[in-house]
Amino acid sequence: MRFMMIMIPKGYERATPGTMPDPKAVEAMMKYNEALQKAGVLLALDGLHPPSMGARVSFAGGKPKVTDGPFAEVKEVVGGYWMIQVKSKEEAVQWAMRCPGGENEVIEVRQVQEFADFPADVQEAAAGYPEMKEQTGKK
């Protein structure tokens, strides 16, 4: 199973263009990334430039509308992500817990949607994914 660990740094929504993280924090984070790599679970990771360098596109009325950052009303923004391959949400959460996150950082753990080998209606019913897969396999 794949999970995305999405870093949400409080305050990043107001960061000026070109803001870079503090070197000490970077060092700690690099050690963490190495640990993910050594455990064989890391698939991908990226840090994102702040919203002040970005844009949003909305689609009200079927017409795309562009708004340049920063986005005044927005309270939480994505700072970066890791994509990991683990066997359960608990494992993903345990990895997220090992991140040297700062006072103002939150990691959201989200499962990546993947094509399953069985019909959509079974997928929709799946609450506990691995258990459901097991049951379907028994049919």
Partner 1 sequence: MTSSATQRAVDALWRIESAGLIAALARKVRDIGLAEELAQDALVAALEQWPVEGIPENPGAWLMAAAKHRAIDRWRHRSLVERKHAQWVHELEGRADDDLPAPDEVADDLLRLIFAACHPLLTQEDQVALTLRLVGGLTTGEIARAFLVAESTLAQRIVRAKRTLSDAKIPFEVPAGGDLSQRLAAVLQVVYLIFNEGYSATAGEDWVRPQLCEDAMRLGRILAELAPREPEVHGLVALMELQASRLRARSDALGDPILLPDQDRSRWDHLLIQRGLAALERAARLNGARPPGFAKFAIAPGPYVLQAEIAACHARARTSDSTDWVRIAALYTALAVLLPTPVVELNRAVAVGMAEGPAAGLALVDALRESPTMLNYHLVPAVRGDLLQKLGRYAQAAEEFERAAVLAGSERERRYLRKRAAGARAAGQG
**Binding span for partner 1 by CB under 8 A among 6-14, 49-57, 70-78, 85-93:** 85-93
98-127 as b/e: b if 16+ CB within 10 A: ebebeeebebebeeeeeeeeeeeeebeeee
Q: How far is the CB of 123 from partner 1 (least distance, A)?
A: 13
Q: Does 83 bind partner 1 (CB under 8 A)?
A: yes
Task: Name the residue nearer to partner 1 (CB basis): 61 or 128.
Answer: 128
N-terminal to C-terminal alpha carbon distance within the chain:
22
Q: Which of 32, 52, 71, 91 binds partner 1 (CB under 8 A)?
A: 91
Judged by CB under 8 A, the chain residues 100 through 129 that form the site for partner 1 are 114-115, 117-118
Residue in 24, 40, 49 with CA at minimum distance from that of residue 100: 24
